[in-house]
Amino acid sequence: MSHYFKIFIAVFAAIIGANLVISTLFSFWYKSETDLAIEKSQKQLEMHQQANENRVKTIQEQQQQKYALMSESMKLKQQETMRKLELDSWERDIQRKAYDEQREKLKAQRKIEYQKEREKRQLLREKQRIQNKNKLADQEHIRRENQKTCQFWIEQYQENPTAKNKSMRQSSCERANRYY
């Protein structure tokens, strides 16, 4: 009951009479069962509200802790990811350096092989040139020898015209003409 209502009742009781005033005052001192029940329910309601507020606070604190833990775990995962990326970057750098070194070695090896092949071709050309020169010299020598032989048999046939000399002259001159 509100305070004004109680005052109103007190004024009304004073007007009606002392009997009523005493009973009214007595009722102020001893609250009615309904008032007690209302107060009790209000106290229970306040306790429930306080308990709910405490639960909400607890839940909020748990969520904050959970978010803090999640953010910590996210930070740890992010740091781990960054470490992995750094390691991957280092590995890629190491692999790139190894690849570059290997490529440089292959280039140097190819250059050496190319140089060797070039020298080999030059040697082969020189050898071929020498062989051709020797072959030409040999052929020239053979041609001269064949010419001399042909000339010899021509002279022999002119001195002594026999069938044997004629046959030898023809075969040696044919041979001389082939190398000419």
Is 20 a residue whose pLDDT tops 70? no
Q: Which pLDDT value is given to residue 26? A: 56
pLDDT tens for each residue of 154-171:
999 999 999 999 999 999
Angle (deg, nearest 10), helices 33-159 and 163-178: 150
The whole-number pLDDT of residue 130 equals 85
7-18 pLDDT, tens digit per residue, is 766 666 566 665
Per residue in 141-155, pLDDT (tens digit) is: 888 888 999 999 999
DSSP conformation letters of 120-132: HHHHHHHHHHHHH
Close Cβ partners of 161 (under 8 Å, ≥ 6 residues apart): none
Rounded mean pLDDT of 105-121? 92
pLDDT > 90? residue 21: no
Position 15 scores a pLDDT of: 66
Per residue in 71-107, pLDDT tens? 777 777 888 888 887 877 788 888 888 899 999 999 9
Q: How far is residue 49's CA from residue 120's CA, in Å, rounded to a whole number?
A: 102
Spatial distance between the Cα atoms of 154 and 171, rounded to a whole number of angstroms:
11
Q: What does R_g of the chain's alpha carbons equal in angstroms?
A: 66
**Residue 34 predicted with pLDDT over 90:** no
The pTM is what? 0.33
Tens digits of residue pLDDT in 51-77: 888 888 888 888 888 777 777 777 778
**Alpha helix locations (H) across 17-32?**
18-29
More confident residue, 37 or 129: 129
For residue range 117-129, what is the model confidence (pLDDT) as tens digits?
Answer: 999 999 999 988 8
For residue 19, what pLDDT is reported? Answer: 58
